[in-house]
Structure 1
Amino acid sequence: MEIKGIHHVSAITKYAQDNYDFYTEVMGLRLVKKTVNQDDPSMYHLFYADAEGNPGTDFTFFEIPMLGNTYEGTNSISTTSLRVPSDEALSFWQKRLEEDELSVEPIITRFGRQMLFFRDPEDQRLALVSDENNQGVAPGVRQETDDIPYEYAIQGLGPVYFTVPALEPTEQILVDILGFEKIDEEENIHRFSAGEGGTGAEIHVIEDSSLPRERPGKGSVHHAAFRVHDKDELEKWVQRIQEAGLVNSGLVDRYYFQSLYFREPNHILIELATDGPGFDTDEPMDSLGESLALPPFLEERREDIENNLKPLHSKK
């Protein structure tokens, strides 16, 4: 039983079309699955990833049109980072994002790596992290676009940031239950690593008791998911989480992977998810995300579901 790294991060958007435009056109990610929230099929669930939809590269969004603003604070997944191949790539992205008139901070060095923090149009807190000096979990498959060269393209998810009022309860779950290792810390940021390590397998926990508790809205993150090998291993994780006394979902079949959800003591929602079967289970690899995909248990409701969703239109 070993956490292999980051599987996906699921966030919230108010506007699916604007979200689609930004993450495909500006960020150059591939929409690998256009589906719905399986617990509420009235809303989109969009999956952006690398060129092949590999685990460890999925940044997903639930559309909730009635959302208000996010009031940032603790007990939250406070930043999602994305991996790029090199320090030079960060300079490319800094210029590109500034030209798009986004809120972009200067490039900094953290834990020996260069990083660029910025916000998307809904104030989603994001960062790009350079893999130039990185070792560990392999990157995803970069996708070249007309205006994003292959050597600068995003290649997966980087460290996930938690912000908590007290480190100890979260650290106990990460280390004693999930098997992460605390590597080091800088100021009030504590770095934890799993599996092969590296940018694709880290959680950075910010401890800050001065902040209020976050009130989520558009631009906030719903949960972070971490990779386990297969269903058999996930069933063992279910037992471990239950024995730890954590309220949890039990094993949930999401069709493209199996999942387990639970909240750690600082109220952050964590998911463990299997690497497979994968997004090409019901669509050919070369046409992922082009049509609305539904798991079998929702297929008989397709007509009603499609009638309640606004079609997404590509600018290309």
Structure 2
Amino acid sequence: MIIRGVNSQTFIAANLARVEQFYRDHLGLPVVKRSVHHLDEKLATITFGFNSFAGAAPRMETITYIEWNPIFYMVPERGFMEEGQTKQDVASPRAGDPKGRWGAGTNHHLALHVPDRNGLLKWKRRLTDLGIHVTGPYNRNYFHAIYLRDPDGAIIEIATSEPGFGHDEAVLGSGFRKQPKENLIGGRDEFAVAFETWPQPIAAITDDFALRGFHHITSISSDAERTERFYVDTIGLPLIKKTDYLDEKGGTHFYYACHEDLMPGSVLTFLGLPNYKPGRLGTGLAHHFTLEVENDAALDNEHRRLQRAGVPISPVQHTRYTKLFQFRDPDGHICAISTPSDFTVDEPASTLGTTLCLPDHLEEHRVQIERQIAFRPAPTPLLD
């Protein structure tokens, strides 16, 4: 298999300072980069990583937020995929609501990973005490999970390792697996779920329940079989699970893996909601997720392969910290394939995320860029 894992997920936010407080202070994730978008320096970005733990392999996934701060301008519906179009759209946005709306062709949530159910209950108690609304813990058959929202409304899940994907079939993805009725909407005891939490306050994040990395990324499909053909036949991911969507009668939930050991962080899932209305890109939603290949040669090979398959794709782009190209799935959801990220190219590992890092060609404009980030003026349209 060429794809070797999930590299990152990128969201759109209205206020990066608010997002930083959420991830750093509430969820305990370190900032690993402060910069600007590689396609337009007017878009500030912040990236979060995960801490390492004794006895566990380092997790390299990252969460990036792009700031879109004009209050009465829509996020460009085409997204930020190519430089010329991005600069034009950022300079001359359409009037409207910047808030996103999830639907077919958008993400649904990002799931972060904790080892066990006690960790979920500790997170529920900690976040609830901080004034953040949390639902769950729910039994999702292959894991247990709680749900919350980031400051812009994006859904964040925290999910456990156990019991895993293999407990209900010997050959993963070999057939449709019905969910136990007690897990389905209408069958579970919502009062019992809401009541369960950790008995004592949780003031500090300790290693036993700290977030380990990604668990999975979930998006929405209006045609599960069409999405399956795309990700299995075109992208090359194995389908490891077909089951019910637990929160919508008649919906499906298909799981795809990026490599064979099925470690948390290597899984993409799609909620199949037939003929569901399209979503709208905006704040409170992901812009795209990124799959990772080993090196530049593998990236170039994938770029040529998808071109031959007739997939509309962007040029290969150098972001300073990785190389990538973007494309859309059959519902229009933006995806990317990249090389591994390296955030130490412009600041040492010991001080990652402490300064605003700019590529060399933008250093002469640092004062102007810092003012843009600080004062966040409304866009100025490009002259014809």
Establish whether TM, by shorter chain, passes 0.5: yes
Tell me if 1:109 matches 2:173.
no
Residue of 331, 341, 344 corresponding to 1:280: 344
Partner of 1:294: 358
Tell me if 1:6 matches 2:13.
no
**Alignment gaps of 5+ in structure 2:** 53-57, 72-97, 166-202, 245-251, 376-384
CA drift of 1:51 comes to 3.0
Contact 1:102–1:121, Cα closer than 8 Å, also in 2:
no
Q: What one-letter code is carried by the residue in structure 2 that aligns with 1:71?
A: R
Residues 55 and 66 of structure 1: CA distance in aligned 2, closer, same or farther (over 3 Å): farther
Describe the superposition over 1:175-212 as per-residue Cα deviations: whole angstroms up to 9, x where unpaired. 11221111112211111112132321111110112532
Tell me if 1:219 matches 2:277.
no
Residue of 168, 183, 190 corresponding to 2:254: 190
Residue of 370, 373, 379 corresponding to 1:306: 370
In our comparison, the structure showing a higher alpha carbon Rg is: 2
The separation in 2 between residues aligned to 1:220 and 1:287, in whole angstroms, is 29
- In terms of mean alpha carbon deviation, does 172-181 or 28-37 score higher? 172-181
Partner of 1:173: 230
Correspondences of 1:137-156 after superposition (within 5 Å)? 147-156=204-213
Partner SS state of residue 118, structure 1:
strand
The separation in 2 between residues aligned to 1:65 and 1:79, in whole angstroms, is 22
The separation in 2 between residues aligned to 1:25 and 1:215, in whole angstroms, is 30
Contact 2:101–2:285, Cα closer than 8 Å, also in 1:
no
Partner of 1:77: 107
Q: What one-letter code is carried by the residue in structure 1 that aligns with 2:61?
A: T
Superposed structure 1 runs of 4+ greater than 3 Å apart:
132-135
CA drift of 1:90 comes to 0.7
Partner of 1:63: 67
**Alignment gaps of 5+ in structure 1:** 136-145, 312-316
The separation in 1 between residues aligned to 2:133 and 2:234, in whole angstroms, is 37
Q: What one-letter code is carried by the residue in structure 1 that aligns with 2:68?
A: I
Describe the superposition over 1:235-274 as per-residue Cα deviations: whole angstroms up to 9, x where unpaired. 1001111011111112111111110111111101111111
CA drift of 1:60 comes to 0.7
CA drift of 1:122 comes to 1.7
The separation in 2 between residues aligned to 1:105 and 1:252, in whole angstroms, is 39
Partner SS state of residue 151, structure 1:
coil
Tell me if 1:240 matches 2:270.
no
**Greater percentage in strand:** 1
Residues 40 and 248 of structure 1: CA distance in aligned 2, closer, same or farther (over 3 Å): same
The separation in 2 between residues aligned to 1:83 and 1:234, in whole angstroms, is 28
The two structures, once aligned, show a CA RMSD in angstroms of 2.1
CA drift of 1:298 comes to 2.5
Partner of 1:51: 51
Contact 1:5–1:56, Cα closer than 8 Å, also in 2:
no
Partner of 2:177: none
Residues 173 and 300 of structure 1: CA distance in aligned 2, closer, same or farther (over 3 Å): farther
CA drift of 1:43 comes to 2.1
- In terms of mean alpha carbon deviation, does 94-103 or 153-162 score higher? 94-103
The separation in 1 between residues aligned to 2:327 and 2:362, in whole angstroms, is 25
Partner of 2:158: 128
Partner of 1:157: 214
Counting matched residue pairs gives 301
Contact 2:5–2:291, Cα closer than 8 Å, also in 1:
yes
CA drift of 1:56 comes to 4.1
Contact 2:32–2:47, Cα closer than 8 Å, also in 1:
yes
Please give the TM-score of this superposition, normalised by the length of structure 2: 0.74
CA drift of 1:40 comes to 1.7
The separation in 2 between residues aligned to 1:170 and 1:155, in whole angstroms, is 29
The separation in 1 between residues aligned to 2:361 and 2:162, in whole angstroms, is 44
